[in-house]
Amino acid sequence: MTRRSLAAFAPATFLSKAGLGRRLVQLKTKEPFFSQGDKSDCVFYLQKGSAKLSVISAGGKEATIALLGPGDFVGEESVAAVAGLRLATATAATACTALKIERKEMIRVIHEQHTFSDLFLAFVLKRSMRTQADLVDQLFNSSEKRLARVLLLMAEFGRSREPLMRIPKVSQESLANMIGTTRSRVSFFMNRFRKLGFIDYNGGIHVNKSLLNVVLHDQPSEQDVQKPSIRDSEGLL
């Protein structure tokens, strides 16, 4: 391949249009990209919407392990040396537009186009760092701090300059699964965050950047807000 053809390749263009070995797909909310145990034969590039990765235990218990947004790859493990089976289920958390790239085409572009392989490697490293951070969060941080961190990540904290950032619709049960606690505890923390002005309910959940105080400074303390009753808190979300 010549230098000219390499220079002419634009990853953004490749990831925005259908072509040989790739096609655009539309998914409705709760529609799966793929399911745990499926053949790992393609990669999705998320253009619009948000998705979640979840795993199901032998006993049928489901846990959400990652949230993905525009610019993320879904199912990147399919480019491994030996194609295997999906280890998780990817589901559209909102209506999604994605580019479905066949495994063979994905591997070809990674090998031939350095600009694309750099972009893909950056994503894989970012996901690896996020996974490590999630593990540390689960091992050492309180459930309240874990919830604050998840809400900030869902709001794509750092990408927006707006003081209030809207997050995709999510149930308290899903949040509880993500941070390893009970639904009643999530409801209690959400009530407390709202009373302190860290989040707001106005046609959806809006996250204030001040919620970062909970992650950085362990705020609020137990004395900051009177604990609401479980009965009062069940109606939220």
Whether the predicted model's global pTM rises above the 0.85 cut:
no
Residue of 31 and 162 predicted with greater confidence = 31
- pLDDT at position 105: 96
Contacts 24+ apart (CB under 8 A), 156-163: 156/69, 157/207, 157/209, 157/212, 163/208, 163/209
- pLDDT at position 103: 95
- The domains found in the chain, sorted by start residue, are 3-138 (2.60.120.10), 141-233 (1.10.10.10)
**Alpha-carbon gap, residue 9 to 22, rounded angstroms:** 16
The kind and range of the H/E element at 96 are: strand 96-102
Contact between 180 and 149 under an 8 Å Cβ cutoff? The reply is no
Contacts of 172 (CB under 8 A, 6+ apart): 183, 186, 187, 190, 236, 237
**Alpha-carbon gap, residue 180 to 188, rounded angstroms:** 15
- pLDDT at position 160: 56
Q: What is the mean pLDDT of residues 200-227?
A: 69
pLDDT tens track for 42-64: 999 999 998 989 898 888 888 78
